[in-house]
């Protein structure tokens, strides 16, 4: 085809216009980070120019990794990837929005797009009716069949000439060749071939006006697109098109007319939405949308630099001033328990911090939190006390959800004037995008905070494990040292001075064990939280007590504890202190050998209230009657480094939590401490 003489470039894709609302919808789809390729394919399939561009780039050498070419649009988009699709959409919109307008009639453009959509839908319907394979590929063939007309119109500044008077389809290509030296079929076929699109698409564009005789041995796909074009073309009379349906596929006029009518009905709502029915395709919103998108896209980097959630909300409030001219921006932040709490990062209204409302309900913040931007004039609407409190004397209220992945993290509360509210409503598309960008930044900030908290908890757990290992390893040499001291004491039984020295050594070793217990117990207390597993924490603690206090003395130690324990009024740190004091007291009373048992049981009821019972038992010599009378009072300790207040601390901690502590002792039959701990009220 000789196109050089008339200056038509069949490879020029970037200049082909697309319906502005299709481009807007495609750009808006990328606000959602989780957008599906199926959604993008459905949008692209509404425009032959955009579809051609996607197919051409996907089948180019840069993207086609293997021999087969792509014809399924969704697969084409998967091959390109989200970033490439977004880039194509943005560049197409930029070229179209900011390139000087050519003298092309908007009504004629709308007619071209409508014919492409009807032909595509009709080709797919015919394929399904005739059981021809790959109806979606035939949809693409129908969508792109007239792309040559758009190329000529774009580069020549006018549509290809129509045949004068009678003659219809038979004269169309002749007239084009006479006037401009080439016909739109040749241009369309050259365009698709130059970009390595699949051969069936190229053939459909190149031969959709071929004569009936030329189609005798043509592939069924080509004949089908030829028929779809004829049924919807103004260059074919209805009798001619219906006769063609019978000649090519044996379709009766009734079936052919029904399929054409259904295709038109399918396309009509789409044409109305895209502005085709009014004979115009609005282009002004496209430039405004691109400007707004450039503003919002620039926010991502700024929001990402915020150090914490408070700084992020302050940054968002300042951006509201810059983008929308509203200087009263506050937030209702989602907290646990389905509540929204007021937050004013710029501290312009300290009283706003006291606002606390439900995250569900009929009020504006709850509706916004559910995902619906809400606004109202306070003078015109029957609003509640909460809305008036949020407005703070302003004329209006606007609530915008800050959402990510369909979940709201906060509500942006604006208090504009009536005039400002009208402007905000006009820019609601930008506000929604702004809310999504800010919502994603807020979600990232919270995810990072959780990661830091988990990392700190993991470091604490590793340190606890390291300390437990140290205690475990230290228990062995302590046991050996205690045993050797016993042997020395036996060998030096007649040497009173040497035995006194050995006693000091034994007491110092016991103090080392106590220090190790306090070390691990204190470390666990630091990491303890409201949601910790109390039973597991106690099991770890008694393991330390066994290694540090009992094994060095040859004491048999056991612990019986349920798999889990209900929340107690006694704090977990205090409970550990109680267990440590009682076990240490029993170990010191036993001396060498003996047995200590720790038992915890839940389900105990005292006075109609549920309790957990803690028992610490030993089989030592027991306590004398005089000692039992003053058991929980501070005593003068005979052990170096002790103040004699261990049992007093136990009583004070237990009674402060509403619990009961008792002791039963019999001479030479051991001692048992029983503690009843009430459960925490829900």
Place of tokens 């003078």: 379
The domain 11-273: what is its CATH number?
1.10.3210.10
Structure tokens at 265: 């009905």
Structure tokens at 563: 């798999």
* 543-569 tens-digit pLDDT: 778 877 788 788 999 999 998 889 898
* 458-503 tens-digit pLDDT: 787 777 777 777 776 776 677 777 777 777 877 787 777 777 667 7
Give the number of other CB atoms < 10 A from CB of residue 354: 9
CB 645 within 8 Å of CB 652: no
Dihedral of CA atoms 314, 317, 323, 325 in degrees, nearest 10, equals -130
CB 579 within 8 Å of CB 535: no
* 90-115 tens-digit pLDDT: 767 766 665 555 556 777 778 888 89
* 178-214 tens-digit pLDDT: 888 888 899 889 888 887 788 888 999 999 998 888 8
The domain 306-445: what is its CATH number?
3.30.450.40
| pLDDT for residue 388 | 87
- The beta-strand segments (E) located in 406-446 are 407-414
Distance CA 333, CA 553 (A): 57
Structure tokens at 321: 């001033």
Distance CA 302, CA 299 (A): 5
What residue ranges of the chain are covered by domains with CATH 3.30.450.40?
306-445
* CA dist list (Å): 297 to 83, 304, 430, 517, 626: 14, 12, 11, 56, 81
Q: Give me the residues paired with residue 606 across strands.
A: 609
What residue ranges of the chain are covered by domains with CATH 3.30.565.10?
452-678
Q: Could you tell me which of 318, 336, 316 has the C-alpha nearest to residue 327?
A: 318
Is the pLDDT assigned to residue 140 strictly greater than 60? yes
Long-range contacts, stretch 54-62, CB < 8 angstroms, 24+ apart: 54/80, 54/85, 54/88, 55/140, 55/195, 55/197, 55/201, 56/13, 56/192, 56/195, 56/196, 56/197, 57/84, 57/88, 57/195, 59/195, 59/196, 59/197, 59/198, 60/195, 60/196, 61/196
* 369-383 tens-digit pLDDT: 988 899 999 887 678
Q: Is 640 left (phi over 0), alpha (psi -120 to 50) or beta?
A: beta
Identify the DSSP state of 195: T
What residue ranges of the chain are covered by domains with CATH 1.10.3210.10?
11-273
- In CATH terms, 452-678 corresponds, of 3.30.565.10, 3.40.50.700, 2.60.40.3950, 3.20.20.70, to 3.30.565.10
| pLDDT for residue 635 | 56
Continuous segment of H or E residues that includes residue 293: helix 284-297
Is the pLDDT assigned to residue 446 strictly greater than 60? yes
Distance CA 88, CA 96 (A): 12
CB 147 within 8 Å of CB 205: yes
């Amino acid at each position: 085809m000789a196109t050089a003489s008339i200056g038509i470039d069949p490879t020029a894709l970037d200049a082909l216009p697309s319906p502005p609302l299709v481009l807007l919808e495609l750009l808006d789809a990328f606000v959602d980070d989780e957008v599906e390729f199926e959604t993008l394919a459905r949008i692209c399939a509404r425009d032959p120019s955009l579809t051609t561009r996607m197919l051409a780039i996907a089948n180019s050498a840069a993207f086609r990794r293997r021999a087969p070419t792509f014809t399924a649009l969704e697969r084409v988009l998967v091959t390109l990837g989200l970033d490439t699709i977004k880039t194509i959409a943005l560049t197409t919109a930029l070229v179209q929005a900011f390139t000087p307008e050519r003298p092309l009639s908007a009504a004629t453009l709308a007619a071209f797009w409508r014919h492409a959509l009807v032909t595509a839908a009709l080709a797919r319907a015919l394929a399904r009716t005739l059981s021809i394979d790959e109806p979606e590929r035939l949809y693409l063939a129908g969508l792109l069949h007239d792309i040559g007309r758009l190329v000529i119109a774009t580069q020549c500044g006018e549509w290809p000439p129509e045949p004068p008077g009678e003659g219809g389809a038979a004269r169309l290509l002749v007239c084009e060749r006479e006037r401009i030296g080439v016909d739109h079929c040749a241009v369309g076929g050259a365009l698709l071939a130059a970009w390595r699109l699949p051969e069936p698409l190229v053939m459909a564009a190149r031969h959709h006006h071929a004569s009936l005789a030329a189609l005798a041995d043509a592939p069924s796909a080509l004949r089908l697109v030829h028929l779809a074009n004829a049924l919807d073309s103004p260059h074919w009379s209805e009798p001619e098109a219906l006769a063609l349906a019978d000649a090519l596929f044996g379709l009766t006029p009734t079936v052919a007319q029904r399929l054409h009518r259904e295709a038109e009905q399918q396309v009509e709502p789409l044409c109305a939405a895209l502005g085709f029915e009014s004979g115009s395709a609005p282009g002004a919103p496209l430039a405004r949308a691109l400007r707004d998108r450039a503003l919002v896209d620039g926010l991502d980097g700024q929001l990402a630099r915020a150090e914490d959630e408070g700084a992020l909300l302050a940054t968002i409030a300042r951006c509201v001033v810059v983008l929308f001219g509203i200087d009263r921006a506050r937030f209702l932040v989602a907290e646990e328990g389905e509540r929204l709490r007021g937050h004013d990062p710029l501290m312009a209204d300290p009283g706003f911090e006291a606002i606390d409302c439900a995250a569900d309900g009929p009020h504006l913040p709850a509706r916004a939190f559910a995902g619906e931007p809400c606004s109202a004039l306070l003078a015109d609407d029957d609003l509640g006390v909460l809305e008036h409190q949020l407005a703070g004397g302003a004329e209006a209220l606007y609530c915008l959800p800050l959402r990510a992945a369909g979940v709201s993290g906060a509500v942006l509360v604006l208090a504009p004037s009536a005039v400002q509210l009208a402007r905000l409503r006009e820019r609601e598309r930008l506000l929604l995008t702004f809310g999504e960008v800010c919502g994603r930044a807020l979600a990232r900030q919270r995810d990072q905070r959780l990661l830091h908290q988990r990392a700190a908890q993991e470091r604490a757990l590793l340190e606890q494990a390291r300390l437990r290992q140290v205690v475990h390893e230290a228990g062995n040499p302590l046991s050996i040292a205690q045993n050797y001291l016993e042997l020395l004491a036996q060998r030096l039984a007649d040497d009173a001075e040497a035995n006194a020295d050995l006693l000091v050594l034994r007491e110092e070793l016991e103090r080392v064990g106590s220090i190790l217990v306090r070390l691990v117990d204190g470390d666990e207390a630091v990491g303890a939280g409201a949601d910790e597993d109390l039973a597991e924490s106690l099991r770890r603690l008694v393991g330390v007590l066994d290694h540090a206090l009992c094994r060095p003395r040859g004491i048999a130690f056991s612990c019986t504890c349920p798999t889990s324990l209900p929340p107690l009024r006694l704090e977990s740190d205090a409970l550990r202190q109680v267990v440590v004091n009682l076990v240490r007291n029993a170990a010191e009373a036993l001396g060498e050998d003996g047995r200590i048992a720790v038992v915890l049981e839940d389900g105990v009821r005292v006075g109609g209230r549920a309790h957990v019972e803690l028992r610490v038992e030993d089989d030592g010599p027991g306590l004398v009657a005089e000692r039992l009378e003053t058991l929980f009072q501070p005593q003068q300790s005979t052990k170096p480094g002790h103040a004699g207040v261990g049992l007093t601390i136990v009583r004070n901690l237990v009674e402060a939590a509403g619990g009961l502590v008792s002791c039963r002792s019999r001479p030479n039959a051991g001692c048992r401490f029983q503690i009843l701990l009430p459960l925490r009220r829900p």
